[in-house]
Amino acid sequence: MRWKVTNETRQKPLADRAEKATSFAQRFKGLMGRQELAMGDGLHIQPCNSIHTFFMRIPIDVAFLDAQGRIVKQMMALPPWRATSVYFQARSVLELPAGVLAASGTQEGDSLSFEPASPAPVSPV
């Protein structure tokens, strides 16, 4: 299932095809090995309060979220081969293409919402 992520504070969309990583295997793999992360894509990792970008090929924007979906820490264009600190208030992390947080004006303290994305329309044959 894909998720639509909206910055409710600023009324700005952040992703319309975000995936959720909740199992150990999904959280472990994360975005490793991906060639790109297209605009509109994202990865919500839960539970999570620290990440790394080892074995990644692309920079990403990162938002650490508390239990209510408020951003407690954000990092813009985090390059490959980096590790973050542990943010004890964070319960999950949203990873987005580099540039999304700045373009949307997203800031620490903003509230995000997650809702199921509409399935892609099926074209008649």
Q: How many domains does the chain have?
A: 1
The domain that holds 31 is classified in CATH as 2.60.120.1140
Retrieve residue 124's tokens.
């008649």
Per-residue model confidence (pLDDT) at position 52: 94
Residue 57 forms part of a structural domain: yes
pLDDT at 125: 62
E-only strand ranges, the chain: 3-7, 12-21, 41-45, 60-65, 71-78, 92-97, 112-116
Place of tokens 């999950």: 92
Is 25 strand, coil or helix? Answer: helix
Which residue is listed with tokens 């539970």?
Answer: 47
**pLDDT reported for residue 33:** 80
Contact 97, 3 (CB under 8 A): no
Residue 102 CB-half CA count within 13 A: 9
Quote the DSSP letter at residue 124: P
Residue 118 lies in a domain: no
> What is residue 70's predicted lDDT score, i.e. its pLDDT?
98
Range of the domain at 88: 2-104
Does 54 map to a domain? yes
Residue 111 belongs to a domain: no
Q: Which residues of the chain have pLDDT under 70?
A: 120-125
Q: What is the pLDDT of residue 72?
A: 98
Q: Does some domain include residue 121?
A: no
Query: Has residue 95 been placed in a domain?
Result: yes
The answer to whether residue 123 sits within a structural domain is no
